């Protein structure tokens, strides 16, 4: 029998359909502490997060739509409307930001990996507490207008938009993987 933590990890599943409630701030603070336990070369803490709820989600939608239009002036009305509604797919969006520090020993890729591991922990701890999430990026994560409006500096990157809430409907089937496909001994 796997340990309950191992079992939780085996059952980790993203949830595209999320409704209210999202975790309250007290629980969320504990969940963020799990993200802060990500392995971190040089203890640089190369991450920060923005929590967006309520009218903030509408504002984020307006920002997405305006930024998409700015990037593509010929954007169709349908695509514009889709961007407008995007953040309202969940009651909470957490913007995970990688904050790249100047360091001779720790390159940017390691710092982004560390921030990404934190997002993974956040997803796992959300699920452990009965909530769900979905890690998304897309063009908005790489759009400079979005970066500017969210207050990112030149050394910061969006790791992901984490959509958070209570999973709706039936959970997806967990895929199975053949370990030998991905894992080999070396030397053989």
Ligand X SMILES: Cc1cc2nc3c(=O)[nH]c(=O)nc-3n(C[C@H](O)[C@H](O)[C@H](O)COP(=O)(O)O)c2cc1C
> Which residues of the chain form contacts with ligand X (CB under 6 A)?
13-14, 134-138, 160, 172
Pick between residue 22 and residue 162 the one whose CB is nearest to ligand X: 162
Distance between start and end Cα atoms, the chain: 30
Residue with nearest beta carbon to ligand X? 14
Cα separation values, 187 from 92, 121, 128, 180, Å = 47, 32, 38, 15
Pick between residue 29 and residue 138 the one whose CB is nearest to ligand X: 138
Pick between residue 32 and residue 135 the one whose CB is nearest to ligand X: 135
Q: Report the C-alpha gap between 120 and 96 in whole angstroms.
A: 11
* In the complex, least distance from residue 137 CB atom to ligand X, rounded to whole angstroms: 4
* In the complex, least distance from residue 26 CB atom to ligand X, rounded to whole angstroms: 26
Pick between residue 31 and residue 157 the one whose CB is nearest to ligand X: 157
Helix ranges restricted to H, the chain? 4-10, 25-35, 55-71, 77-85, 108-128, 144-150, 179-182
Nearest alpha carbon to residue 70 among 83, 57, 59, 58: 83
* In the complex, least distance from residue 187 CB atom to ligand X, rounded to whole angstroms: 32
* In the complex, least distance from residue 19 CB atom to ligand X, rounded to whole angstroms: 18
């Amino acid at each position: 029998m796997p340990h309950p933590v191992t079992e939780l990890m085996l059952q980790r599943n993203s949830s595209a359909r999320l409704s209210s409630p999202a975790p309250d701030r007290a629980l969320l603070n504990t969940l963020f502490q799990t993200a802060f336990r990500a392995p971190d070369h040089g203890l640089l803490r190369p991450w920060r997060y923005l929590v967006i709820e309520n009218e903030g989600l509408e504002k984020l939608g307006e920002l997405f739509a305006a930024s998409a239009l700015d990037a593509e002036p010929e954007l169709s009305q349908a695509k514009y409307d889709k961007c407008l509604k995007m953040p309202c797919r969940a009651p909470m969006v957490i913007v995970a930001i990688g904050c790249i520090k100047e360091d001779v020993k720790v390159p940017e890729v390691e710092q982004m990996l560390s921030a990404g591991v934190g997002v993974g922990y956040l997803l796992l701890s959300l699920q452990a507490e009965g909530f769900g999430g979905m890690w998304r990026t897309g063009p908005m994560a790489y759009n400079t207008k979005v970066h500017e409006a969210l207050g990112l500096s030149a050394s910061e990157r969006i790791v992901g938009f984490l959509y958070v809430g209570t999973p709706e409907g039936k959970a997806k089937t967990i895929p199975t993987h053949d370990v030998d496909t991905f894992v080999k001994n070396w030397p053989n």
